[in-house]
Structure 1
Amino acid sequence: MKKYILPSLKMTIVMIVLCAVLYPLLIAGIAKMAPGKGKGETVSVNGRIVGYEKVGQKFTEDKYFQGRPSAVDYNAAGSAGSNKGPSNPDYLKTVSERIDSFIVHNPGVKKAEIPAEMVTASGSGLDPDISPACARIQVKRVAAVRNIPEKKIYDLVEAHTQAPLGKMMGPLKINVLKLNIALDQLK
């Protein structure tokens, strides 16, 4: 019996040290070399952290560009999709309500012109980016509320459009937080 218990205890202690102490320390050390030093890539304005670059945030005021809807209300601790399919009546009702709300806040936009990503939540519920089409469809509203010429807002959208890796590994995108910060800084 001693023959099996002692080696088992030794192996258990070795694995605890390896998996519960050394491995986490190694990963924490690697994270310290990453952008944000393991604390996430924060976005600061005037030395004050206003958000995270890789996490979507809720913008409800008409003077700001809005991102994709979130199934988890932008709660980074509970990242998830809605898990409801396109034939689910609750899901269809939610999308229909989002379409109606979008049209109320963006008068003159026809239902068929609304990009699907503006009324459907992303898989994580935390998507920080929108497509240029989603930004362009909101320009008229933002320009009217802020009393800024539409051309100036279009130029800002174009300036914040990011090309994918290698200009061919994905779609064009715009970080909503960075766009809204630049919008606040317009004079």
Structure 2
Amino acid sequence: MLALLRPALVLMALFTLLTGLAYPLAITGLAQGLLPREANGSLITRGDRVVGSELIGQAFAGPRYVHGRPSATTAVDPADATKTVDAPYNAAASGGSNLGPSSKALLEAVQARVTALGVTQAPADLVTASASGLDPHVSPTAAMAQAARIAAARGVAPARVEALVQRHTEGRSFGIIGEPRVNVLALNLALDAELP
């Protein structure tokens, strides 16, 4: 029995050290050496203060800011642990609503968002949540659709806001992957800096 158990325990200890310690340390060291900014969360700072990450959306409200995609993330209800409550951009609970295209609740939520925007038609990414609920980007169309509201709230010409949107529009990754996009946090920081 010991002849069978000993090799199994040795292999378990070896692979635990190899895959549980050596490999993660090597990959972490490689990431810190080659891509330190990305390995540490692609954080955006202003002075000494971290204001967010390029990778995780934030809830922006008010007429002076570009609003991101709706977030379907939730958290445990503090009053009843068996229920959940809306917790927009809760990175600890990433996930979509799982409401399908025939869902009455989804249709009502989209209609309420369109009404809140005060338009008859809205870009899809302004009225539907992303799969993760943490999307930090909107389409250039969605950002431009908000330019008039932002300009009025900041007391500037819409062309100035539109110019900032164009400057902050990122192209496709490697020229072919994905769609053009605007990072909401980066654009809102630029709005505060250039059009206070």
User: Same fold judged by TM-score > 0.5?
Assistant: yes
Shift of 1:118: 0.5
In the alignment, what sits opposite 2:70?
69
Gaps of 5+ in 1: 104-108
2:189 and 2:32 mapped to 1: Cα distance? 27
Tell me whether 1:116 sits opposite 2:124 in the alignment: yes
Shift of 1:25: 1.1
Q: Which has the higher strand share?
A: 2
1:168 and 1:38 mapped to 2: Cα distance? 24
Asked which structure has the greater RCO (Cα within 8 Å, sep 6+), the reply is 1
1:167 and 1:38 mapped to 2: Cα distance? 23
| Deviant stretches of 4+, over 3 Å | none
Q: Give the secondary-structure state (helix, strand or coil) at the position aligned to 1:122.
A: coil
2:194 and 2:182 mapped to 1: Cα distance? 17
In the alignment, what sits opposite 2:2?
2
Give the TM-score taking structure 2 as reference length: 0.86
Shift of 1:171: 1.4
Equivalent position amino acid for 1:55 in 2: I
Aligned pairs for 1:48-59 within 5 A: 48-59=49-60
Q: Give the secondary-structure state (helix, strand or coil) at the position aligned to 2:149.
A: helix
Instruction: Flag the 1:46–1:96 CA change in 2: closer, same or farther, 3 A.
Output: same
Cα displacement string for residues 44-63 of structure 1 (whole angstroms, at most 9, x for unaligned residues)? 12332111011111101110
Q: Give the secondary-structure state (helix, strand or coil) at the position aligned to 1:44.
A: strand
1:52 and 1:133 mapped to 2: Cα distance? 22
Instruction: Flag the 1:95–1:135 CA change in 2: closer, same or farther, 3 A.
Output: same
Cα displacement string for residues 28-56 of structure 1 (whole angstroms, at most 9, x for unaligned residues)? 21231324262211111233211101111
2:129 and 2:188 mapped to 1: Cα distance? 20
Equivalent position amino acid for 2:13 in 1: I
Instruction: Flag the 1:85–1:44 CA change in 2: closer, same or farther, 3 A.
Output: same
Q: Which stretch has the larger CA shift, 6-15 or 32-41? A: 32-41
Q: Give the secondary-structure state (helix, strand or coil) at the position aligned to 2:194.
A: coil
Cα displacement string for residues 90-140 of structure 1 (whole angstroms, at most 9, x for unaligned residues)? 22222222222222xxxxx3x22x011110001111111111110111001
2:38 and 2:132 mapped to 1: Cα distance? 23
Output the aligned Cα RMSD.
1.5
Shift of 1:75: 1.1
Instruction: Flag the 1:144–1:79 CA change in 2: closer, same or farther, 3 A.
Output: same
Equivalent position amino acid for 2:11 in 1: M
Q: Give the secondary-structure state (helix, strand or coil) at the position aligned to 1:69.
A: coil
Equivalent position amino acid for 1:84 in 2: L
2:2 and 2:48 mapped to 1: Cα distance? 62
How many residue pairs get aligned? The number is: 180
Equivalent position amino acid for 1:149 in 2: A
Instruction: Flag the 1:151–1:37 CA change in 2: closer, same or farther, 3 A.
Output: closer
Shift of 1:16: 1.5
In the alignment, what sits opposite 1:32?
32
1:37 and 1:137 mapped to 2: Cα distance? 31
Percent same amino acid at aligned positions? 40
1:166 and 1:3 mapped to 2: Cα distance? 55
1:27 and 1:78 mapped to 2: Cα distance? 26
Q: Which stretch has the larger CA shift, 1-10 or 119-128? A: 1-10
- The correspondence for 2:133, drawn from 114, 125, 129, is 125
Shift of 1:163: 1.2
1:115 and 1:12 mapped to 2: Cα distance? 54
